[in-house]
Chain A
Amino acid sequence: MASVTFDHVVKRYTADVTVVKDFNVEIKDKEFMVLVGPSGCGKSTALRMLAGLETITEGEIRIGERKVNDVAAKDRDIAMVFQSYALYPHMSVYDNMAFPLQMKKTPKAEIDKRVKNASRILGLDNFLQRKPRALSGGQRQRVALGRAIVRNPQVFLLDEPLSNLDAKLRGQTRIELQKLHRDLETTFIYVTHDQVEAMTMGDRIALMYDGVLQQVGTPGDIYDHPANLFVAGFIGSPTMNFVPVITSNGSAKAGSFQVTLPKPVGEKKGTLGFRPEALTDRVVDGGNTLSMRVDVVERLGSDQYLYGQVGEDQVTARVDPRMQVAVGDQVKLGLDTRSLHLFDGETEKALL
């Protein structure tokens, strides 16, 4: 059990290819931390530096109090689950899980106990003698997890472990992983490009883009208070609506409508952001309203998505499914002032 600290970590391949830039984050003991971002943002590289598979160009990575920059991968007391599982195809499930313990010269009886224990947790009891090729994708995934569990590591590293599973299995495994995290009481660091996985599984989320850490916080924090335009657009589905505005004191003026801001921000160019669910069919007198020409209607049963134009701007609204709307309608929608975001036109940082 241990915390993990990235202290001004940099990964540079050549003078002008820097994939991780001044990365600082502290992952608490027993925390489920999700590193999320689009592909190529440096999240996997950060994880691989922690695992010891990549060298650290600058800065320091600590596991607990120990600096691990120069510690070999096998001595870092971590376990890693790969996206591709990386099972040893010629070994049985049992041997796959026993392998890391055999490498540590663990006594046979102890190996047996730990492998049996892990296979019980993961429901692999009946497959111990099988080869990986005789297993389904989900079972292989669990063997890969089992191989990590038997080592009883201080930190679990998971590199997109669900992306090779089909949608249904992914949902199940997501829940199983959370349960596993609770049972094992160990630090998990989980890399994914999928914001749904990040939102549902993480105690905290670290969002990266272009090698730079954008924001660290709880899923609720990041959803409600995105630190910049990128975070706001990355988290949430359907994505947040963005409308270019010019602010003056307490209000923001867009092409075809004007809203009152919760606090004055002075005069500048910016981007107004509001999530699709901030729009409602209840129009309050004196509140912010905008008029939308509906292009597409999607009814999902529990929700109804309206895609359309507000003036020149594309806007998505998530409204009550009972609202009667047809394509081509001009509808008036209310906009909740409390769910407004405003981003600076130049720095793209949040202003509210």
Chain B
Amino acid sequence: MSVAAAADRPGTAATAARFSPRWIADRLSKGVIHVVVISLTVAWIVPTVGLLVTSFRPFAAITSSGWWTALAPQFTFTLENYTKVLSSTNLGASFFNSFMISIPATVIPIAIAAFAAYAFAWMKFPLRDWIFLGIVGVLAIPLQLSFVPVLSFFVAHGITSSNLQPYGLQFLPVWLAHTGYGLPFSIYLLANFFRALPSELFESAEIDGAGTLTVFFRIVLPLSVPALASLVIFQFLWIWNDLLVALIYVGGAPEVAPLTVTIANLTNSLGQGYQLLTAAAFFSMFVPLIVFLSLQRYFVRGILAGSVKG
């Protein structure tokens, strides 16, 4: 179907004769779309470009003129901000910490959510829909509300960063926190995706002799790669860019601080050192970009094609 439809469009465009009213209308509407798309893109990208340009400018220039003036000759670009950031701060350690926080805090909630979502979507148990509703309802509660009670619970039970450091689990509190914060949305998204899988697949697998776990690992998970990939991107980006939760649950000590905390500390309260912020921001931006680009290819359209219907 989609192939035929795609083939149709250029065909109809080609049938309109040159300079006929229809041809002009075609061109015009295409032109308008292009203009809108391009202007939206530019509007969106300008701040980032400004940041990028600024990160290569000397401090004196940054404070005296706008970033766009640097685009005209003479060019006075410098790597000073980058060298300063990379050498004078413990960015390397923070970088490592960010990974230590982000990877488990992405994998753990999604793994749990996948199991839970499968149960909600395809298993029968009492109160299933009410429990699901409860989990979805939790989405409406702002996570800031939970800081005090959760933190006091952690402290009361010794689940604190400094307590766990000797066991190498100094990040456990923030893993647990992110798991809790990430679960409702992950379960909601995955359960909806799983529910949309054709029921005949499950019935067929049941007759074929596949147990619940086999169905989950060999059929549900492979077919859910697009949903899982987008979930991983969401969760990873949010944790990588998160400042608040990390600061609350592991604190700002250099040996545990993630990139966001360290970068925020680059500027002091008087606003000095903010030229370093621009360079550090780009340094930090790399990882999400790589994650996004490498997972993008899993957004396979029509992953269910060929399963049911002729």
Contact = CB atoms under 8 A, between A and B. Distances in A.
Interface residues of B, number: 24
A147 interface: yes
B202 to A, nearest CB: 9
Interface string B190-201: 000000001011
B207 A89 contact: no
Interface string A123-138: 0000000011111010
Interface string B169-206: 00000000000000000000000000000101101111
A144 to B, nearest CB: 9
Nearest to A51: B207
Interface in A204-227: none
A84 B307 CA distance: 8
Given A82-B204, A140-B306, A100 B209 contact: yes
A86 B306 contact: no
Given A74-B208, A88-B219, A140-B310, A82 B203 contact: yes
Given A53-B203, A80-B204, A86 B209 contact: no
Interface stretch (B95-103, B285-293, B297-305): B297-305
Contacts of A134: 306
B157 interface: no
Contacts of B209: 74, 100, 103-104
A52 B206 CA distance: 9
Interface size class of A (residues with CB under 8 A): 20 to 34
A73 B306 contact: no
A80 B208 CA distance: 9
A78 interface: yes
B207 A78 contact: yes
Given A86-B198, A89-B223, A103-B214, A80 B310 contact: no
Nearest to A136: B310
A242 to B, nearest CB: 36
Nearest to B225: A90
A53 B306 contact: no
Contacts of A86: 198, 200-201, 203-204, 307-308
A88 B198 CA distance: 10
Q: Which 7 residue pairs across A and B have the least CB separation, nearest first?
A: A137-B310, A133-B306, A132-B306, A84-B308, A74-B209, A86-B200, A103-B209
Interface of A: 51-53, 73-74, 78-80, 82-90, 99-100, 103-104, 131-135, 137, 140-141, 147, 151, 164-165
Interface of B: 198, 200-201, 203-210, 214, 219, 222-223, 302-310
29 contacts: A73-B207, A74-B206, A74-B208, A74-B210, A80-B204, A82-B308, A84-B309, A85-B307, A86-B203, A86-B204, A86-B307, A87-B306, A87-B307, A88-B201, A88-B307, A89-B223, A89-B303, A89-B305, A99-B205, A99-B208, A100-B207, A103-B209, A104-B209, A133-B302, A135-B306, A137-B310, A141-B310, A164-B310, A165-B310
